[in-house]
Amino acid sequence: MINNVAFPKKQRLIRYLNSLCFFIVVAFGLSPDAMAAQSPATKIKQLSIIDAGAIGDGTTLNTHVLQETINQLAAQGGGTMVVPAGRFLTGAIFLKPGVNLNLETNAVLLGSTNIADYPAMPTRIEGHTQIWRPALLNADHCDYLRITGCGTIQGGGKSFWDAFWNRYKADKTTKNLDVDRPRNVFIENSKDVLISGISLRDSGFWNLHLYRCQDLTVENMDIRTPTHSPSTDGIDVDSCQRVTIRGCYISVDDDNIAMKGTKGPLADEDKDSPPVEHIRIYDCSFGLGHGVLTLGSEACRVRDVVMENCQVEGVWNKDCLARLKLRPDTQQYYQDIHFRNITLNGHGTLVSIEPWMQVFDLKGLAAPMQRVNNVTFENITGNATSFGRIDGPTNSVIRDILFKDIGLTVTDTNVVVRKVGNLKLVNTRINGTLLTPDRLGLARHSERIADGDTN
């Protein structure tokens, strides 16, 4: 029960305190909104790392400051960490749910060249999870994540590449993961993610690795590494669904965009690697690269991938528009892969669908099958070194391959197409000459060619 005598006194006290607060506001020139913004309980929408104490001189290590900024934003319900102009040296940092990142013009998150600044931990890499190094920027279970701006994430690059090449020169059996190297960005287990406008440079390993993500958009990015930068894939789409990549420029010393999953004779049973499916790539340009779009080398099930309205300006003979790697130790299903409206302006090949023998292990089990079904190439023109090859492993089944409205000028006119069922050639010309099943010698090898228009 309210005390009827005391209650009026409480009202008078409240009125007095309110009047005092108003006097303070007037006396010190503070608005009520400004006072509210200074309240510890008020959510900070954006927090500049400069205000948190970061130093952008390119030499001061800011890992702790950046991580504390992320932690503070996460603790108060989320917000955006803002990186202003400057070169902010850092080791591995980890975004948290609700925390976004904005890189302003001339902002650089500069990766440390000290591998100790990337503490080893369990991470997804090359089709499985093992103790290895995290990326420079990491995000796990960060639904609705936004990484935006005009700035750059620049890895420690050369020091890690040199470490790999030095070991490789001493031991030619050296594999990718024998030398620890951080990726630039690793995002996993996240939905509704947008990465827009930023640049990636000089990654020690893969540039942008996406694992078990859904409904993710990568747009208007600029991703580059120079020659002799091993394993610097541009974008690795690993066990993801509904991914859009648009308006990007990618020039790297490995695959430009790779569809990845798992590997090995039991890959089809791996519950940690759902199919890669419903991928759209359009309005992109590509420079250096081993494969503009590569399926593998770790991939089990990939389906419904469309690349269209793109330009390829590669200058290496190892460049390839479509590289479908078939592992003899992995049961693979590649289906509904489509290339449309592509201009080639350089060297390299149109297509490679053949065994990938670099590293494999049957673990004493029988060799599994590889299936490739419904791959189409339509309206592809320009210059290349050669048409390429389609020639799968012994256990492979490759069928329903369409080439339509192809016009290429090549320096090597050799075309290898073997063991393909239902191959269709419609208005496909190499150096102006119509490509037909007879010219390929398919009849001599008893490959099944569908009846239909080959003109």
* Total-model pTM: 0.88
Please state the three-class secondary structure of 8-71 as a single string. Answer: HHHHHHHHHHHHHHHHHHHHHCCCHHHHHHCCCCCCCCEEECCCCCCCCEEEEECHHHHHHHHH
Per-residue model confidence as pLDDT tens digits over 252-282: 999 999 999 999 898 888 999 999 999 999 9
Q: 447 vs 116, which has greater pLDDT?
A: 116
Sign of torsion over alpha carbons 259, 340, 316, 433? positive
170 three-state secondary structure: helix
Question: Beta strands 420-430 and 433-434: pairing type?
Answer: antiparallel
pLDDT in tens, 41-82: 456 699 999 999 999 999 999 999 999 999 999 999 999 999
At residue 441, the pLDDT reads 57
Q: What percent of the chain stands above pLDDT 70?
A: 86
Residue 8 has pLDDT above 50, yes or no: no
**Nearest Cα to 351, choosing from 329, 315, 325?**
325
